[in-house]
Amino acid sequence: MLRRTLPLLITFAVGFVLVISKFIPKVETLGEDFSIYFDIIAVFAFILGGGNLVKIHGNKIYRRSEGWGYSLVCIIGFFATLTIGLFKFGNPLGWTGNVVAEGSAFKGIYDFIFKPLGATMFALLAFYVASASYRAFRAKNAEATVLLIAAFVILLGRTFIGKMVSFWVPIDQAGPDIPSFAEWIMNVPNLAGQRAIMIGIALGIVSTSLKLILGIERSYLGADTE
């Protein structure tokens, strides 16, 4: 009862309230309260993520598994950031100030550790996109050729090179040049394809949401042996 039935009842009750809150004004407040509860539980999900991280890497350090030194770096970085942020060390406005106030140690962690690491991780993708384009982007059949041509027009049209290459239209005048063609591709065939995908996804989400609320879809509860 507690392992399967209660969660299904909770899902039904919450989902039902949120759906009817759009139609019955009296239930709107309850719907808002449930949304706020969701936001608060989301923070506990962050805490769960942190706890899980400490559990996994702590285990690696305890067992001296391969690469435990890196796990130590991870744990030190985690607890250092947590302590500095929770106690607002170095915050010019003290305990009551904005946690990311200019000059605070927490802002320093963001500026000099988080930002360079996060930004560079994603910057690496530029290299991999080039390498993947060279190796995998082949005009193997008619459909792939259409894909390639569309990509080329967009790549050309989204820079000044597209304007330069369109010799049939003077550079400083509007006209049927490659950038205009790129815009047309985005606003007509791309829009048509994306809209078809969007409608398909919407129908999928609506049916899945209904199945979840009605308890037909139960995979999120996990295995019965848990």
Partner 1 sequence: MADTPETTKKTGWYQKVRDIDRRIIFLFIALAVIIPLLLQPSFPEFPAQLVKDTFAEMDKLPEGSKILMAFDYDPASEPELQPMATVWTRHAFENKLKIYIVALWPLGQNMAEDTLNELLKEYPDRKYGVDYVNLGFKSGGQGVINVILTDFAKMYPTDVYNKPLSQIPIMKDVKSIKDMDLIINISAGFPGLKEWVQFGADPAGVRIIGGSTAVQAPLLYPYIPNQLHGLLGGLKAAAEYEELADRKLCGMKCGQDAECIDSCIKEYAKRDKGKVRMGAQAIAHMVIMAFIIIGNITFFIDRRRERKG
Partner 2 sequence: MSKQAKLIVFFVIVGILFAVLLVRASQNKMIKPWPTKTTVEYKQMETDEAGVVMSETIETKQVFSWKGFWTWFAAFLTLCIISFLYDDNPFYKFAEHLFVGVSAAYWMVMGFWTTLVPNLFGKLTPGLVAKTGLIEGLEGVPWTWHYIFPLLLGIVLLMRLSSKYGWVSRWSLAFIVGTTAGLNFVQYLVSDFMMQISQSLKPLIVTAANVDPIISTSPVICSLSNILLFLGVFCGLIYFFFSVEHKGFFGAASRVGIWILMVSFGASFGFTVMGRIALLVGRMEFLFADWLNIIVQ
- Please choose which of partner 1, partner 2, none residue 216 contacts, taking the beta carbon within 5 to 8 angstroms, the exact cut-off set by kind: none
Cβ neighbour number for residue 166 with a 10 Å cutoff: 19
Polymer length in residues for the chain = 226
Among 26, 138, 141, 226, binds partner 1 (CB under 8 A): 138
Does residue 181 touch partner 1 according to CB under 8 A? no
Q: Contacts with partner 2 in 136-175 (CB under 8 A)?
A: 137, 143-144, 146-155, 158
Does residue 65 touch partner 1 according to CB under 8 A? no
96/225 with CB nearer partner 1: 96
User: What is the closest distance, in whole angstroms, from the C-beta atom of residue 169 to partner 1 in the complex?
Assistant: 11
Among 11, 57, 178, 179, binds partner 1 (CB under 8 A): 179
# residues near partner 2 by CB under 8 A: 127
* DSSP structural state of residue 95: G
Within 13 Å and on the Cβ side, how many CA atoms surround 218?
Answer: 13
Among 61, 101, 109, 169, binds partner 2 (CB under 8 A): 109
Q: Six-digit token pair at 27? A: 């239930």
Does residue 61 touch partner 2 according to CB under 8 A? no
Residues 104-143 as b/e (b if ≥16 CB within 10 A, e otherwise) read bbbbebeeeeeeeeeeeeeeeeeeeeeeeeeeeeeeeeee
CA distance 180 to 199: 27
- Please choose which of partner 2, partner 1, none residue 56 contacts, taking the beta carbon within 5 to 8 angstroms, the exact cut-off set by kind: none
Q: Contacts with partner 2 in 10-29 (CB under 8 A)?
A: 10-19, 22
Which residue do the tokens 């598994």 mark? 65
